Structure 1
């Protein structure tokens, strides 16, 4: 690339961020920028059937919000800037069984918690694979790759160290985060702008009660159906199961699960832990006797599982991701 070409790309990139950071307040509240992942629309939309809709599930939104997004057509990042940034960043993928994206319980609430600890958090909405996107099950991976590259490309603007950018995902969002962790270098989409020159590899990965395997008997049926269809072939099951994609150069990984999880069995994390350990990937796992599925922050009150954010932050600190050592 010539110096002139590099300059043109850099200018284009700067203008692109200014365009995609929306002026209006985000659904997370005033002061949070909303950044479009794909300024000209996501790839492979020719046959997409998605119609974006925000649904409030709470019976009393004045007390507690419980919003989900269905039919994501314009994937975004919502930025949570800490008052005192420590240079660390998290790309956050909420869950929803690949049927929708759970934004409050597994997005904004956790983002606020980590932002209070100095971590800059980007909560992601991502496309749902069963809605006609040409990439099929790879559509969420495209969004996650693009999100990670955008964060790195604009790290300086958010006081972020581009070498301390991790990913955290919950439930099916844990699968999104896990696929990014293990398929970060898979060719996903044609380059959009200079941001796509950045690596999509997370520096570290936190998987919260993740949907990991697509294989019976421990697969989460809804997530597998929405990702791969009603009767996936063995090759597809292997391709999209995290434990069968473990690799020696995967980033350090932190797993959290409740043993009494009746939706996504704890074997999802156990199998992935063993697969990563066998390949000598640094991996830490915390299992809680009780907690069920989808506990986020709000359903851990009074339970040992309430410690999970502090455990994650302590691990990040030990590994130098918070700027210490």
Structure 2
């Protein structure tokens, strides 16, 4: 295996490529860009390499996007911080400070990542017609944002490339937050939301003030169309941080627009399970099944 890294965007995003066999005599491989979660405050390691190893074992070239967040900014500065320390940093931000995590910047970074891969398919030994995205939690929102907005003129203008360069061929959404307003309403109705956490998460995604147009674009179910790529989704019913209705509403929108989709809901399991194996520190043998189910689905949609 070969490991390469490259920067994207104007802030502090970095991509790590995990590459299997390469060379002119080796058949081009499918590829996936992994977008770990982390509330747009940091990029979870538990949702990065463990998922990458699963795809490598199936013959994929893998690219992990560590998009711009407080956490990646600290890493770029050579600093380390715990999650609690990052919360404290977030709480002390000046209103006008730009973090790089505000929508749509991570989306631009993801589009640039896809573009870089397609522009260098021979270097990475990638099949240009089989490149998808996998996102967990907030990373699921990022992946889905590309899935619904890839053909929008406003995004092409921001990226500076034609949309064909960053069109995803498939998307996999793992316990994704897809509607921030819906998630807030459900939390308030059930009395289980943490107002301080939700306010901070909103600050990471939308900045100090939420503009109506930005909230609309970030509510990805509003933009599902026949151009949205085939989608695999999984979620757990016991998730008390990102509610399962995010996934149900998105699947409904996919169905209404005749987009191929598959949705798996597991009754038990909290938020952030990743691959639900020992390597992640959260073992759930039933939820682990999403991985082989996903690969079966990926074979079916070829």
> What TM-score comes out, normalization by structure 1 length?
0.71
1:189 and 2:167 aligned: no
Structure 1 residue corresponding to 2:120, chosen from 147, 154, 161: 154
Instruction: Give yes or no for contact 1:82–1:116 (8 Å, CA) kept in 2.
Output: no
Shift of 1:196: 6.4
1:101 and 2:27 aligned: no
User: What SS class does the counterpart of residue 47 from structure 2 fall into?
Assistant: helix
Equivalent runs, 1:158-307 vs 2, <5 Å: 158-185=124-151, 186-189=155-158, 191=160, 199-216=165-182, 217-218=185-186, 221=198, 222-229=200-207, 232-297=210-275, 298=280, 301-307=283-289
Aligned match of 1:114 = 55
Instruction: Give yes or no for contact 1:258–1:288 (8 Å, CA) kept in 2.
Output: yes
Structure 1 unaligned segments of length 5 or more: list them. Answer: 1-29, 43-72, 321-325
What is the distance in 2 between the residues matched to 1:187 and 1:197?
Answer: 6
Equivalent runs, 1:125-136 vs 2, <5 Å: 125-128=66-69, 132=98, 136=102
Instruction: Give yes or no for contact 1:83–1:116 (8 Å, CA) kept in 2.
Output: no
Structure 1 residue corresponding to 2:293, chosen from 300, 311, 316: 311
Shift of 1:74: 2.3
Instruction: Give yes or no for contact 1:218–1:268 (8 Å, CA) kept in 2.
Output: no
1:137 and 2:115 aligned: no
What is the distance in 2 between the residues matched to 1:154 and 1:120?
Answer: 13
Aligned match of 2:20 = 82
Aligned match of 2:92 = none
What is the distance in 2 between the residues matched to 1:131 and 1:142?
Answer: 19
Instruction: Give yes or no for contact 1:142–1:188 (8 Å, CA) kept in 2.
Output: no
Aligned match of 2:75 = none
Cα RMSD over matched residues? 2.5
What is the distance in 2 between the residues matched to 1:135 and 1:257?
Answer: 24
**Count of aligned residue pairs for this structure pair:** 254
Shift of 1:83: 4.4
What is the distance in 2 between the residues matched to 1:214 and 1:302?
Answer: 27
What is the distance in 1 between the residues matched to 2:283 and 2:102?
Answer: 38
Shift of 1:300: 5.4
Instruction: Give yes or no for contact 1:95–1:169 (8 Å, CA) kept in 2.
Output: yes
Aligned match of 2:90 = none
- Residues 100 and 174 of structure 1: is their aligned pair in 2 closer, same or farther, counting only changes over 3 Å? same
- Residues 218 and 153 of structure 1: is their aligned pair in 2 closer, same or farther, counting only changes over 3 Å? farther
Bigger fraction of residues in helix = 2
What is the distance in 2 between the residues matched to 1:318 and 1:169?
Answer: 20
Shift of 1:239: 2.1
Shift of 1:33: 0.8
User: What SS class does the counterpart of residue 187 from structure 1 fall into?
Assistant: helix
- Residues 128 and 307 of structure 1: is their aligned pair in 2 closer, same or farther, counting only changes over 3 Å? same
Shift of 1:128: 3.4
